A and B are shown apart, each in its own frame.
Chain A
């Protein structure tokens, strides 16, 4: 791992000097622009992509049901080296079950999970028979922290490193760099109870890096964090991708998915709804502009002649959403309704997500 090897340290130090202040993170271009890994991945339609092409990890035909409920249904995907793959979907879509199957914690009813430790043409490791060999090469941050409350930050890292069969001397050498990466150097000897939620998540991330993994699996790594803590977490994850790590990430936050992920997989009812880069998905599925209208009498507009100016109209609560190729005419027409408030914005991932998975609150949400 670039992050923990000696050469990586130099790189890290160089990066640290440029570290932005907390909360003053400049808005970044989504990393989808031209990630190194993508250069090898010529066609962008992953469905047409033979999965043997540059995968560090692949899941084929995963299926799982509990009783009558099918939680994951014929799901296939792969992760390319150096890529951040985002899995998004509403609660109960099957994200966590998918991750658990990838980790060998849940046994799939059908399908296979494979890991390629030395590239797609090298030997193949498979769940569940090679579970230990695969886990030795993985970094995992689960949805709920499982840090040891009785230990300090440094002890948490030491004890976790031992589970990988690492010698104490090796782990102790890595600890300062891992703490630095997690921005927890000053908390090395602090008890877990003294850490904030964001600090705990970063410690979980640092712990997942103790074995110098090539692939990270992160289940909702920023859920429950405040904006500052989320931005710091994002910055660290981006750094890991820059260092060449591959990441599988589940999230509920569309801005997080858009910012971090090279490729997205939209999951609902255990099925893959669509897959692609965030920008492609938006371009393929949505009109470029959205005009939100709300205020007294807004709902009546949904069935008014104004509808003709939009390609698609949606009502949610007290707001009407107009999806359109050309917002100019619509906005001009809306000036006739000065009492209404309008918001004109480009279509985003959240619109896509809601279009694909619906606006209804799920019963189990």
Chain B
């Protein structure tokens, strides 16, 4: 046979650049079609919880706290909290989708195996899952933003800029979550991620209280957390101000997104190699 023997590619580098073609789109559309069928019940879970938190803490705790000092200006606590919690919602929604739902498709339902029987690369599948989790997160935060507008918490026109930023926050956290998806043996593993990473992140990133109250070491860690960058970018926009060190925070988010996706892809390739 004229078959040219090829070099075995066992050692193909896991960290080679992503090879992404157009076939991520049908994978994304598949998830969209499933979601359209289940949208209403999932909507309640995605949106009710953050809004309950906002109302309970914002109006309840807000009555006790009154005003919060932020960079020398006093702002109402509800505004402080709303601008932080919308970032937290973006983080939670993206993480949940990229962990539990992606794992179901990858491991439990074997959806990915089916997809890769067609001419679709694993890279395309992982990319589609990442964008999908970010999309769902953006959908959640969009509705929360609309409710906040309706409640009159902020009417700043700069909120228009907050919207794409929240999309980026979704991309960042879905990329990071996919790393843990690639490593997971069962759903239980995700509990560690939520309790050991996301929950501390929530308290260290200035969502509920100003970061300058944090003790020294915590403050340093906080400076480098992706959620901190998100809150530092989005909160001023709620106040009608431009973020301080905006480029630095943006770069940090982008770095976490790119590095997170790259590592997630490498680990997923490893998982699927044999």
Residues of A within 8 A of B (CB): 50-52, 55, 58, 60-61, 66, 103, 105-112, 114, 124, 126, 128-129, 131-133, 135-136, 138, 140, 142, 144-151, 155, 159-160, 162-165, 208, 211
Contact = CB atoms under 8 A, between A and B. Distances in A.
B110 to A, nearest CB: 4
Contacts of B37: 150
B273 to A, nearest CB: 7
A135 B114 CA distance: 12
A106 B116 CA distance: 12
Contacts of A164: 118-119
B109 A146 contact: yes
A51 B1 contact: yes
Which 4 pairs show the lowest CB-CB distances between chains A and B? A146-B114, A163-B118, A162-B26, A140-B117
A106 B274 contact: yes
B119 A132 contact: yes
B33 interface: yes
A107 B8 contact: yes
Contacts of A147: 114
B217 interface: no
A149 B114 CA distance: 12
Given A112-B3, A112-B5, A159-B26, A165 B119 contact: yes
Interface-central residue, B29, B116, B117, B121, by most chain A CB under 10 Å? B117
A129 B34 contact: no
B33 A60 contact: no
Interface in B21-45: 22-23, 26-27, 29-30, 33-34, 37-38
B9 interface: yes
A38 to B, nearest CB: 20
Given A150-B34, A163-B120, 15 more contacts: A55-B1, A103-B117, A109-B10, A124-B2, A124-B3, A129-B6, A133-B119, A148-B111, A148-B114, A159-B30, A162-B26, A162-B29, A162-B30, A163-B23, A164-B118
A138 B116 CA distance: 12
B14 to A, nearest CB: 12
Nearest to A105: B116
Interface string B10-21: 101000000000
B212 interface: no
Nearest to A114: B3
Contacts of B272: 105
- Contact residues on B (Cβ < 8 Å of other chain), bracket: 35 or more
15 contacts: A60-B5, A105-B272, A107-B8, A108-B8, A109-B10, A111-B5, A131-B119, A132-B120, A138-B117, A148-B34, A148-B114, A155-B33, A159-B29, A160-B114, A163-B27
A111 B6 CA distance: 8
B64 interface: no
A164 B115 CA distance: 10
B150 interface: no
Contact of B121 (A111, A112, A132, A145): A132
A335 to B, nearest CB: 57
A205 B5 CA distance: 32
B38 A107 contact: no
A223 to B, nearest CB: 16
B30 to A, nearest CB: 5
Given A124-B3, A126-B4, A144-B110, A107 B273 contact: yes
Contacts of A126: 3-4, 6
B2 A52 contact: yes
Nearest to A138: B117
Contacts of B38: 150
Contacts of A107: 8-10, 12, 273-274
Given A129-B6, A144-B110, A60 B23 contact: no
A277 B17 CA distance: 47
A140 B110 CA distance: 14
A286 to B, nearest CB: 32
A142 B68 CA distance: 60
Interface-central residue, B12, B109, B121, B272, by most chain A CB under 10 Å? B109
Contact of A58 (B3, B22, B117): B3
B109 A112 contact: no
Contacts of B23: 163, 165
Contacts of B114: 142, 146-148, 160
Interface-central residue, B6, B115, B273, by most chain A CB under 10 Å? B6
Nearest to B117: A140
A151 B8 contact: no
Contacts of B34: 148, 150-151
Contact of B26 (A135, A163, A208): A163
Contacts of A145: 110
B141 to A, nearest CB: 25
Contacts of A55: 1
Contact of A135 (B3, B27, B117): B117
A9 to B, nearest CB: 24
Contacts of B6: 112, 126, 128-129
A211 B118 contact: yes
A334 B5 CA distance: 58
Contacts of A51: 1
B245 to A, nearest CB: 43
